[in-house]
Structure 1
Amino acid sequence: MSNSVTLPHAPRRSLVESTIELIRAQIESATWKVGERIPKEQELADMLQVGRNTVREAIRVLSHANVLEVRQGDGTYVRSNVDPAEVMRRVSRASLRDHFELRAMLETEAARLAADCRTKADVILLRRLLKEREDKREREAFVDADLRFHSAIAQISGNTALAELYRYFSNTVRLNTLSALDDAGLPEPDQQAHIAIVDAIERQDGEAAALAARAVVAPLIAALAAEGRSSQ
């Protein structure tokens, strides 16, 4: 690959992290496409005006994230244009409103699918988890119980991709739920709203289950919208 490619110089404040960000930007913008070999270490070092060791460490980190693939004796290739860790960092920086809108999408469809797939044992499990949620008084224990309930619905949905996505997203769910609870101006979904989800799942009424799941977070989303909160 030619040395004619010009990249922004890496700021000196955090050379490895800045180099990672700059390499990732080239990949996300498709300057370097999936399956394509990127410039050699020394070429990258010259482009970014950093040391070769800095470039080597950045490549190591991105290789560990499966964004790059180092082929001994051949070079380094773009393996993926998505870095899961970076995606989650961006998700974690989104506003509460953005978070709860995304959560509503996931939980609405999970509840709809769970209504079709549920067994009697699943309903018993959900009611037990609801009771645990109701019994928790300590803030973090309550949020953990709430998360176990919603995670169980995702599992019961029978959609492996949705369940895994929710599990991957669960730590962000937890942190943002804690943030919402700390804001006295935001409504807290009550137990009855959650019971409505399980009742609909037990009846195998997918549409009602989806509406009930949406109703749990809708007041929060409306309150955040009224306050003008966005991702900005």
Structure 2
Amino acid sequence: MSLDPVRRPTLAAEVLSTLRRQITEGAWPVGGRIPPEPELMRQLGVARGTVREAVRALAHAGLLEVRQGDGTYVRAASELSGAVQRLYADRAATELFDVRAALEGKAAFLAATRATDEDLAALAEALGRRAAAWEARDFEGWVGADWDFHTRVVDASGNTLLAELYRNLTEPLRTSMAEFWDRPGFDGADPAGHEDLLTALRDQDPAEAARQAGSNIDATAEWHSSTS
């Protein structure tokens, strides 16, 4: 059986790889605008058509969003994250809660026996920031602290694949949090499922940690359903 000759990647493929690396490594953050075409052409030393071909490919993959008359913005940090955002746009919020429950419940179970003292201290610090932001009605600060708490629990599981999968929910989760903020009856300082989860992690109780993670999401889903 013969093999096809190995071919050098096309120039467009090299440019695409360079732009993707800028996104995945955080040089161009999600929500930010990338440099305009003339600047990319100058920095990369390529023609306009090559830049446009790479940008189109990344937009199709869900990493970039081209806004006519405004510029091109980073939509997601990975192809998986972009795919999740497209799927979430056409799904009920309850499906996102189901996925969160599966991932966070397992992560909390594992973290109960794997979390370090440094992990626990960072979780406590995130909860302090969360409570302070709620009191100050600082939406961005509250979302950031809440997300930091949940991702740190997942990181403390010690499962890097689980953590990577969870991080690809970032944008859909932030979108759903924005929906909660000003709804009557929502208490962003409620300790249930947060402080109680941290206590279970400190007690190294996997079953209780998983229960707290799950009950927090179930309560949020129930509240969301009742106010939709």
TM-score, normalised via structure 2 length: 0.60
Deviations 1:146-187 (A, max 9, x none): 001101111111011110111111121111111122332656
Q: Are 2:57 and 1:61 aligned?
A: yes
2:97 pairs, out of 83, 96, 100, with: 100
Change (3 A) 1:185 1:95: farther
Match of 2:147 in 1: 147
Q: Secondary structure of the residue that 2:194 maps to in structure 1?
A: helix
Change (3 A) 1:144 1:185: same
CA distance in 2, matches of 1:191, 1:166: 22
CA distance in 2, matches of 1:118, 1:109: 14
Q: Is the 8 A contact 2:84 2:169 kept in 1?
A: no
Letter aligned with residue 127 of structure 2:
L
Change (3 A) 1:133 1:226: closer
Q: Is the 8 A contact 1:186 1:220 kept in 2?
A: no
Change (3 A) 1:189 1:209: farther
Q: Are 2:86 and 1:89 aligned?
A: yes
Deviations 1:88-146 (A, max 9, x none): 31124322222222222221111111112111221111111111111113122111110
Match of 1:165 in 2: 165
Q: Are 2:106 and 1:109 aligned?
A: yes
Q: Secondary structure of the residue that 1:208 maps to in structure 2?
A: helix
Q: Is the 8 A contact 2:131 2:189 kept in 1?
A: no
CA distance in 2, matches of 1:93, 1:183: 22
Q: Superposed, which structure 2 residues align to 1:206-217 within 5 Å?
A: 206-217=206-217
Q: Is the 8 A contact 2:130 2:189 kept in 1?
A: no
Match of 1:221 in 2: 221
CA distance in 2, matches of 1:162, 1:86: 17
Change (3 A) 1:192 1:223: closer
Change (3 A) 1:118 1:184: same
CA distance in 1, matches of 2:101, 2:193: 14
Q: Is the 8 A contact 2:192 2:216 kept in 1?
A: no
Change (3 A) 1:143 1:154: same
Q: Are 2:202 and 1:175 aligned?
A: no
Letter aligned with residue 135 of structure 1:
A
In the alignment, structure 1 segments of 5+ residues that lack a partner are 1-56, 66-82
Deviation, structure 1 residue 189: 6.6
TM-score, normalised via structure 1 length: 0.59
Match of 1:202 in 2: 202
In the alignment, structure 2 segments of 5+ residues that lack a partner are 1-52, 62-78
CA distance in 2, matches of 1:139, 1:61: 34
Identity, % of aligned positions: 32
Q: Is the 8 A contact 2:112 2:203 kept in 1?
A: yes
